[in-house]
Structure 1
Amino acid sequence: MRGPPPAVLSAGAQVLGYTVERQLGQGGFGTVYLAHCEGQRFALKLLHLPRVGERAEREISILTRLHFPNVVRILGHGYWPVAQPQFAVIAMEYVEGRQLDAWADAENPTARQAARVLLGMARALAAAHAEGVVHRDVKEANVMVRASDGLAKLVDFGIGDYTGARELTADILPPGTVDYRSPEAWRFLRAHLEARDARYTAGPADDLWALGLVSYRLLTGRFPFDGEDGASLTEAILSSAPTPPHEENERVPRALSDVCMQLLEKTPEARTPSAQALCESLEQALRGADATWDVPLCDAYDEDSATTEGEDIDSFEQWRHQPRHRPRRGKRRPPKPAPAKDADAAASEMPPPVTTVRVAPEKRGAFRAWAVLAVMLVLAGAAWGLGMSRIARPAPTRQEVAPSGKSSQAGRAAAPTGPEATAAAVALPATLQEVSATVTTQPKETQPLQLPSKPAKKGMSVMARAVGTAAACTALTACPGPQVLPAPSPEPCPVGAVKAMAKLNVTTGRKATVVFDDDDRPKVISVREGPTQLILAGPWGDMPSNTVLSGRLIVRERVYGRLTWATTPKGDSFPVCMEVFAEEGDRGMAREPGDDSPSSARIFTSARVKAVSEFE
């Protein structure tokens, strides 16, 4: 099935009594929203039933088995819309905090703090494994660190499995994030490439291996294995011994380094035997911790710590690509204030006022607002010029060193050299290599149970209020004429979208040609506000031609498009952040004559899309 999970909900949308606030994340088969009901906040996960099939019931079954402080808690579930269900809805506790990698980048934790987070993960896996549950997608994005107390919670059991569950996998390997697969999984794939009926069963040892990768990156800021491409990276995972964390980063205590290295043993027999044994090892290491465990693992970032200079490249970006240095993490120091001058000296040296700002390369789109301001000042007779440069802001501080492979899993296993490039390299949401089965229990027979029955008061988004105000004004005789609906409000990109585009060499600020249908004849078509799909008319970076770009259209004086999900012709999916532009260069599509409706329009079939770091 093409396209993203079609649950594209705006702020204020109502789902089974919950009021949506904003999107928290999106995967190949579901979307998670922050929502509130009766004064409380929840994480609301919507799973598209035609896509996930039995996996919706499986995830619910797993979460209801696990009642443990380090595992996200399920609070209710149901189906929506009630009359004709299209989504399974899971209401979970909202963990107010950050994903593990973002937490590490911002907080620059000490060895003691890192060990406590790892201990929380070990306890979560121990509780899951004791119930016969295997997570199968342990990675930084699925670990949340709570802001209030630093408690780590394991989230997203969407591709998890448990003892006795019916087999759903249609490929040799079960679903999972490619770069976190264990050596035994790769060995199995190599040995059974020609055996169509062969199926690898992931177990607790696979979760422990993945946690070893997570712990290595937490301690050193780097991936333990490297390779020129996906196949060579897989070969390194199978045969190369990683540099111990305490040698890679001298601030890592030896005891913690040893715990990490045992998790990265090549065979399950040599690896840490269980999550419970890992808990005991971490607890023992913490009991022997001394003052050296309270030093931040990485150097603090400082603006003048860069080793090289270059045009249009943030100094931190340059520094973090020096492979043999200890990574820098943590909050940036504020710029040093300029020395004070007396008023007369300052006045004599002052040139005509110029507004000078620095903008990171991905933020050049923000110049439009400044340009409009400049025009307004000129028209008003302002005597002074308005200049502009770029707004400085912290660059993303994620310390990824090893590039994800661009090969399919079979290519990585069977062809150590020269793999075929594919977009499956993006290790964001886990990729399911299967056609989902239908739900065994019909949604109509399942009540929307365990959800608060009293709906929250209906909320209105800023845009909804603006539309309502315009409609009311138009109805009044005192209004001077038809009201112009405002352009869409700014909003952030989907979680992981900018990173996913960067991995595919889709550069922010660049544009590509798209069409609204695959008919080669250019023509005018009718569109409505809401979900939409466009087709990439040619390759863009490593994104192949005919990739389907999905999102929503917003009908105003122009037709705006915001695209948030991409699906390649091979079925690989990942988040994106792209705005639709007219071929003449303006944001949004011009409305063609013949439809003046506030919710539909006629537009031309071809357009341009621009990769952005946020929607304007």
Structure 2
Amino acid sequence: MRPPPALLVPGAEVLGYTVERQLGQGGFGTVYLARNAGRPFALKLLHLPRVGERVEREVSILLKLRHPHVVGLQGYGLWPPGEPRFALIVMEYVDGRRLDAWADAENPSARQVARAVLDVARALAATHAAGVLHRDVKEANVMVRASDGLAKLVDFGIGDYTGARGLTEDILPPGTPEYRAPEAWRYFRQHARVPGARYVAGASDDLWALGVVLYWLLTGRKPFDGEDDAGFIEAVLTQTPTPPCDENERVPRALSDVCMRLLEKTSETRTPNALAVIAALEEALRGADAAWDVPLCDAFGEDTATTQGQQDSFEKWMNRPRHRPRRGARAEPETPPSLAGAPTRVRARPRAFRAWTAMAMVLAMVAAGAVRMHGTSHAPEAVPLRQEVAPTDKSPQSDRAAAPSGPEATAAAVALPATHQEVAATVTTQTPETPSLPLPSKPVRKVRSVMTRAAGTAACTALMACPGPQVRPPPPPEPCPIGAVKAMQERGIRMGDQYIAVFDFSHPRIMSVSEGPAQLLLGERVGDLHSGTALSGRLIVRDRVYGRLTWAVTKPGDSFPVCLEVFAEEGGRGMPREPGDDSTSSARVFTTVRVKAVHEFE
């Protein structure tokens, strides 16, 4: 998977927007929660050399769509202003969850599911009426707003519209294989080896995908499966899925029928258009009774019955051929009595330590390590031969974001609000010309190290013998950016190795730094990277100054994610604080450090 096109750190300023945090990543863009004048926005950053005309198409599509169930465009611009390398799409921020996360957490009833799908159908009706196709309708591209449950269609990044120029040479347009309609697969089979063959998607393709989404919401599983790609395609082309009401007796037949009509094998027999879907759902809801308000799936819990009132293990229950899946809130794990008063850590790995002295014990008690638990999910792999696959389900609009994509080149004229354009962006990716010279070693300093002083303070505090501030623990664990490990390995950065880096190349010295965004320069050649490669990330001021670098930009302008932890020259994670600044948000450190390639920030 290609690395994300850009990675901004919290506090970064881009065309007047202040980044708060990353919301998600996709194959073409990274989306952030950002604020301007106190208002939240979803900020989508796309690397221009990679996305090409897609960014203009995305903006053009959003300009055509103004609908309460479609994410709204707020502005568009290029960054940095002088030599733009990125496109910036500013969108309405949808404070909520994507559809799959919403369903998993809320265990919705048939009525709630019908209303959410009705919202998406209304969005598709407006989209198709404007001559636009979404081409990637799936749970990951629908956001459910937390405040009122309203659903919005997001991420038009691979959308198309009438009259737009083709942007791909593949036989199938971009899309997610699990949601492709039978007619697309039939065309693929018949024309896979025909030079120049191109399948043209239509509104019916979006409706089929909506049927797949509805089936999953009602039953907890996708309507088609296969042992491999060929088996999956064969199932889509030839098999009729079990009706949702037979798969799950809590599904009303009227809603099941709406779903099955969306999954007809041909566009001619399928529900003809989104307006017809709206009409069918509204009619079904008018006849809804109390049974429509029962959660569709079983809840988690030890007392949850599976079939015939029998209790069973979760593993056996999950593997039973026909059952209702479990959704909803999970029970909190019980806390052992000995830890009743301790704070809970989601990812914890105890570290062994020796008891030397009271001071050493106090320091050891504030040390903590962590590991990340990785979940796995199954999705059919992309079918081989000539087809472009949509970005991963971790779409830029995932995790409480909203982002789109769209049409023509005229969109470049659409600018951010004037007040935003006048704010100069702080560009930290430009690197000075720096010779690859040996860096002088750090001079010997006859001062107590900050850790020694911190140890003394901790011991005094623990023994109630002297006053002093408490030791501030290291920052909590944090995962690497998506694609960072692979990107580093491809460029010759070896995991676990340490490399010289500097804040600047002028001369080694003690300098002041503040918590927040920061940039270092690689001080030696590493694999394919030359000295002077810019490493961006953030500093975290504690009793040491920790640095987490997440993005690299080479002198020619190539950019990619990294996962580099800052280490002191003499060893140890983080940089020791030099005397002269005891602030909680700033510190004095030496300009030369080492950076270590890691799989995660500890």
Q: TM-score, normalised by structure 1?
A: 0.67
Please, which of 304, 322, 325 is the counterpart of residue 324 of structure 1? 322
Distance 1:279 1:130, change over 3 A: same
Which of 382, 385, 391 in structure 2 is aligned with 1:410?
A: 385
1:196 & 1:597 partners in 2: Cα distance? 62
Contact (CA 8 Å) 2:566, 2:595: kept in 1 or not? no
Task: Give the superposition deviation at 1:560.
Answer: 6.6
Aligned to 1:546: none
Q: 1:489 to 1:524 in 2, by over 3 A?
A: closer
1:332 Cα deviation (Å)?
A: 2.7
Change (3 A) 1:271 1:300: same
Any residues of structure 2 matched to 1:502-541 within 5 Å, and which?
515=489, 517-518=491-492, 526-527=500-501
Amino acid corresponding to residue 83 of structure 1 in structure 2? G
State the alpha-carbon separation in 1 of the partners of residues 343 and 126 from structure 2: 49
Shift in Å at residue 137 of structure 1?
0.7
Residue 405 of structure 1, CA deviation: 2.5
Matched, 1:264 2:263: yes
For 1:117 and 1:424, the matched residues in 2 are separated by 23
* Structure-1 residue corresponding to 2:582: none
Q: Percent identity?
A: 51
Within 5 Å, give how 1:76-95 maps onto structure 2: 76-95=75-94
Residue 166 of structure 1: how far off its partner (Å) = 1.1
Cα distance in 1 for partners of 2:341, 2:370 equals: 7
2-side partners of 1:320 and 1:391: how far apart?
27
CA–CA separation in structure 2 for the residues paired with 1:514 and 1:49: 22
- Cα distance, 1:515–1:111 mapped onto 2, change above 3 Å: closer
**Alpha-carbon distance change, 447 to 193 in structure 1, aligned in 2, over 3 angstroms:** closer
Residue of structure 2 in register with 1:186 after alignment: 185
* 2:417 paired residue among 422, 433, 450: 450
Q: Within 5 A, what are the aligned runs for 1:200-211?
A: 200-211=199-210
Could you tell me which residue of structure 2 aligns to residue 220 of structure 1? 219
Within 2, Cα distance between the matches of 1:29 and 1:518? 24
Q: Which has the higher contact order (CA 8 A, sep 6+)?
A: 2
Q: Secondary structure at the match of 2:268?
A: coil
More displaced 10-residue stretch of structure 1: 54-63 or 127-136:
54-63
Say whether 1:242 aligns with 2:241.
yes
Matched residues in 2 for 1:249 and 1:286: separation?
Answer: 18
Aligned position for 2:6: 7
TM-fit CA distance, 1:359: 9.5
Q: CA deviation at 1:490?
A: 3.8
CA deviation map 1:461-484 (0-9, x unaligned): xxxxxxxxxxxxxxxxxx966768
Quote the offset at 1:237 in angstroms.
1.2
AA of the residue aligned to 1:410: L
- What amino acid is the match of 1:109? P
| 1:230 corresponds to 2:197 | no
Q: Which amino acid aligns with 1:31?
A: T
CA gap of 1:208–1:513, structure 2 versus 1, over 3 A, is closer
- For residues 526 and 120 of structure 1, do their structure 2 counterparts lie closer, same or farther at Cα, with a shift above 3 Å needed? same
The 5 Å alignment of 1:577-588 reads: none
SS for the counterpart of 1:212 is: helix
The amino acid of 2:325's aligned partner reads P
Aligned to 1:569: none
Name the CA shift for 1:199/1:391 in 2 (closer, same or farther; >3 Å).
closer
- What is the alpha-carbon distance in structure 2 between the residues aligned to residue 337 and residue 117 of structure 1? 37
Structure 1 residues 380, 281: CA separation in 2 closer, same or farther (over 3 Å shift)?
same
Q: Secondary structure at the match of 1:76?
A: strand
* Gap change, CA 1:99 and 1:379, over 3 Å in 2: same
Distance 1:303 1:134 in 2: 45
Amino acid at match of 2:53: E
Cα deviation 1:333-389 (Å, max 9, x = unaligned): 457999xxxxxxxxxxx9xx57799999xx65x225x657x969976779xx99x99
Which residues in structure 2 correspond to 1:96-495 (within 5 Å)?
96-303=95-302, 305=304, 319-333=317-331, 366-368=348-350, 403-410=378-385, 427-429=393-395, 446=413, 448-450=415-417, 452-453=419-420, 489-490=475-476, 493=479
User: For the pair shown, which has the larger CA radius of gyration, 1 or 2?
Assistant: 2
1:476 is matched with which residue?
none
- Contact 2:176–2:390, Cα closer than 8 Å, also in 1: no
Structure 1 window deviating more from structure 2 (76-85 vs 127-136): it is 76-85
- With over 3 angstroms needed to count, the CA separation of the structure-2 counterparts of 1:85 and 1:276, relative to structure 1, is same
Cα distance in 2 between the residues matched to 1:579 and 1:335: 33
CA distance in 1, matches of 2:65, 2:411: 25
Instruction: Give the whole-Å Cα distance in 2 for the aligned partners of 1:188 and 1:39.
Output: 50
Q: 1:242 to 1:560 in 2, by over 3 A?
A: farther
When normalised by structure 2's length, the TM-score is 0.68
1:111–1:532 CA distance, 2 compared to 1 (3 A): farther
Structure 2: runs of 5+ lacking an equivalent: 307-312, 397-407, 427-445, 455-471, 503-517, 528-533, 553-559, 577-587
Counterpart in 2 of 1:37? 36
Cα distance in 1 for residues equivalent to 2:478 and 2:382: 30
Q: Letter of the aligned partner of 1:453 in structure 2?
A: H
| Alpha-carbon shift at residue 450 of structure 1 (Å) | 2.9
Contact 2:26 2:391 in 1 (8 A): no
Q: Count residues with an aligned counterpart.
A: 495
Question: CA 1:513–1:99 in structure 2 vs 1: closer, same or farther (change >3 Å)?
Answer: closer
Provide closer, same or farther for how the CA distance between residues 447 and 405 of structure 1 changes in structure 2, counting only shifts above 3 A: closer
Task: Quote how far apart the aligned CAs of 1:112 are.
Answer: 0.3
Q: What is the distance in 1 between the residues matched to 2:223 and 2:94?
A: 29
Change (3 A) 1:427 1:457: closer
1:367 counterpart SS class: coil
Cα displacement (A) at 1:514: 6.9
* Partner Cα separation in structure 2 for residue 579 and residue 80 of structure 1: 25
Separation (CA, whole Å) in 2 of partners of 1:70 and 1:203:
20
How has the CA–CA distance of structure 1 residues 71 and 7 changed in structure 2, closer, same or farther, with 3 Å as cutoff?
same
Deviation at 1:4, TM superposition (A): 2.2
CA shift digits 1:253-281 (9 cap, x unpaired) = 00000100111111111111001100000
Report the residue type matching 2:349 in the other structure.
F
- C-alpha distance in structure 1 between counterparts of 2:16 and 2:356, whole Å: 46
Residue 231 of structure 1: CA displacement? 2.1
Runs of 5+ consecutive residues of structure 1 not aligned to the other structure: 308-314, 339-349, 414-422, 431-438, 460-478, 502-510, 538-549, 566-574
Q: CA contact under 8 A between 2:298 and 2:304: conserved in structure 1?
A: no
- Write the deviation string for residues 287-307 of structure 1: whole angstroms up to 9, x where unpaired: 010010010001111145599
8 Å CA contact 2:3–2:487 kept in 1: the answer is no
What SS does structure 2 have at the residue aligned with 1:247?
A: helix
